[in-house]
Structure 1
Amino acid sequence: MKLLFVADPLETFKTYKDTTFAMMREAARRGHSLSACEPKDIRWQRGEPVTASVRNISLTEHPVDWFAVTGPAYSEELPALKSFDAVVMRKDPPFDSEYFYTTHLLEQAEREGAKVFNKPRTLRDHPEKLAILEWPQFIGPTLVTRDAQDIKDFHAEHQDIILKPLDGMGGMGIFRVKADGLNLGSIIETLNQDGAQTVMVQKFLPAIAQGDKRILVIGGEPVPYCLARIPQGGEVRGNLAAGGKGVAQALTERDREIAQTIGPVLAQRGLLLIGLDVIGDSLTEINVTSPTCFQEITDQTGFDVAEMFLQALEAEHERLH
């Protein structure tokens, strides 16, 4: 297959842990050809299909200079996205206006015949914090509001709470307020911007001490191991980007129940790969943009997550052709 990865700049990849790199490495091992671009490289003009300024690459064994560009740095004739067998959208959040516009360009490419994973419309329809609202049976006490008094009332009821912005990633902008309510007003002002910004508030889950579990679901099927991201020191966040320690472990029965309920539904909607965040028995987030943790799980358990992903991608290619 000819694969196009839409991602952050290749030069920024930390290949020892990068999931997109793991996908590329497995794709190359299976004989597929690799191309890459950034969202800014995608364009459309009336009378033409959606095209992109892409780099065709091969992988080296070098940890830093890990790829080589094959042929001209950028070909003069821009290839149409529909000319690739699969377009893999792996741009990291934030899901800002530019990300939103990119999904519309990718959706136009779909109308022209491109096969995009994850599906652009479904990316827009499933904001990572808010997608959990569809499955209230799996989540803890949760509030989504712009109203400062709502948040204060929620704190009065639950005493120990987590506040987070809807557009953060990697644990950014997450606050914990305990029973004493210390700094609650200030935190609300920071996140809520005087009613201009919607905030998610959740009851604090003590099970975070055992880790914030990332459960990967590929083609509707859960990977048999998750990565528990365990907060370190005095940190409340388990995110690896916030210094959490990743420990791979087998899924629990509850993990499987959550994954096997949500996974097939979202796969049917065009989400080939999702990452469910679970603390204890409670679902806290559904990651759809560029779920990670492939390499950490594979390194610790021997289960090849990238292989499972490429098998699912190949199966989708077969199904769609």
Structure 2
Amino acid sequence: MKLLFVADPLETFKTYKDTTFAMMREAARRGHQIWACETADLVWVKGARVVARGARCITLKGEATTAPVTQAVHSDDWFEVATQAELALADTDAVVMRKDPPFDSEFFYATHLLSQAEREGARVFNRPAALRDHPEKLAILEFPQHIAPTLVTRSAAAIKAFHAEHQDIILKPLDGMGGMGIFRVGADGMNLGSITETLNRDGAQSVMVQKYLPAIVHGDKRVLLIGGEPVPYSLARIPQGSEIRGNLAAGGKGVAQPLSERDREIATALGPILAARGLLLVGLDIIGDCLTEINVTSPTCFQEITQQTGFDVAAMFITALESQLKH
């Protein structure tokens, strides 16, 4: 099969932990042809099809062909370009959208180009419309039975009232990633006004506020859904030192562990629903017994789980992708 990965620049990959790299490596092992481009390479002209200009057909080389890669391999040390050409997305067997957040205007526009490519016959995973319909913070609102007390608002007064009710709260921007812009305010309300002004920009921007979950000390668990089925292990991202954030990008420690009964309950409830909407790969974030986010843009943690447990997450993903393409 010919697979096109729409991703960040290949030269920026940290191959020892990059999930897109793990997908490519497994696909290459199975004999699939690997192409790559960036969202900036996507072009549509009236009378023609959506193409990736300057798309690169790559082969993996050296240590990149074996598992695990134990240290960062930067630049072009892990791949070589076999061909560079203009590639119509509809001429591939699958387009795998793996552009990392943030979900900004350019990401949004890219999903519309990918939707046009679908109309021309391309198969895109995750489906572009589903990416647009599931903002990663707000998607949990559909499943209130699984989430902690939560408020979404621009109103400083509403935030103040929520704090008065719950005493210990977390505030975060709706467009943040990797733990960026997350604040905790305890019972004393210290700096609540200043934090609110910073996040809501004096009422111009919406904020998510949630009751603080003490179970964060045991980790913010990433539960992966592939084709609607849960990977049997989560990666608990455990805050270190005085940090409240478990995100690996914020210095959290990743510890793989079997799914708890509650993890599996949430995954089993959401998996078929999300898969039916064209979300082949989803990352659920769970703290204690509560769902906190539904990640659909570029879920990660494949390599950490595989390295610690021996369960080949990338193999499960490529098998699911191959299965989708048979239908």
Q: Shorter-chain-normalised TM-score: which range?
A: over 0.9
Alignment of 1:261-300 (within 5 A): 261-300=269-308
CA distance in structure 1 between the aligned counterparts of 2:181 and 2:99, rounded to whole angstroms: 20
User: What's 1:12 paired with?
Assistant: 12
Secondary structure of 2:23's counterpart equals helix
Amino acid at match of 2:261: E
Secondary structure of 1:277's counterpart equals strand
RMSD after superposition: 0.6
Residue among 56, 66, 69 paired with 2:81: 69
CA distance in structure 2 between the aligned counterparts of 1:243 and 1:198, rounded to whole angstroms: 27
CA distance in structure 2 between the aligned counterparts of 1:186 and 1:58, rounded to whole angstroms: 51
Confirm whether residue 172 of structure 1 aligns to residue 180 of structure 2: yes
Secondary structure of 1:34's counterpart equals strand
User: What's 1:140 paired with?
Assistant: 148
- 1:25-69 deviations in Å (ceiling 9; x for gaps): 000001000000000000000000000120110001243410100
Where does structure 1 differ by over 4 angstroms across 4 or more consecutive aligned residues? none
User: What's 1:305 paired with?
Assistant: 313
User: What's 1:98 paired with?
Assistant: 106
Amino acid at match of 2:79: F
CA distance in structure 2 between the aligned counterparts of 1:308 and 1:226, rounded to whole angstroms: 14
User: What's 2:326 paired with?
Assistant: 318
Alignment of 1:1-321 (within 5 A): 1-53=1-53, 54-62=55-63, 63-64=73-74, 65-71=77-83, 74-75=84-85, 78-319=86-327
CA distance in structure 2 between the aligned counterparts of 1:257 and 1:150, rounded to whole angstroms: 32
Amino acid at match of 2:2: K
Amino acid at match of 2:308: Q
Report the alpha carbon displacement of residue 223 of structure 1 after superposing the two structures with TM. Answer: 0.1
Report the alpha carbon displacement of residue 129 of structure 1 after superposing the two structures with TM. Answer: 0.1
Secondary structure of 2:148's counterpart equals coil
Secondary structure of 1:92's counterpart equals coil
User: What's 2:68 paired with?
Assistant: none
Gaps of at least 5 residues in structure 2 are 64-72
Report the alpha carbon displacement of residue 121 of structure 1 after superposing the two structures with TM. Answer: 0.3
- The percent of aligned pairs where both chains have the same amino acid is 76
- 1:111-131 deviations in Å (ceiling 9; x for gaps): 000000000000000000000
Gaps of at least 5 residues in structure 1 are none
CA distance in structure 2 between the aligned counterparts of 1:80 and 1:37, rounded to whole angstroms: 12
CA distance in structure 1 between the aligned counterparts of 2:189 and 2:92, rounded to whole angstroms: 54
Q: TM-score, length-normalised on structure 2? A: 0.96
Q: TM-score, length-normalised on structure 1? A: 0.97
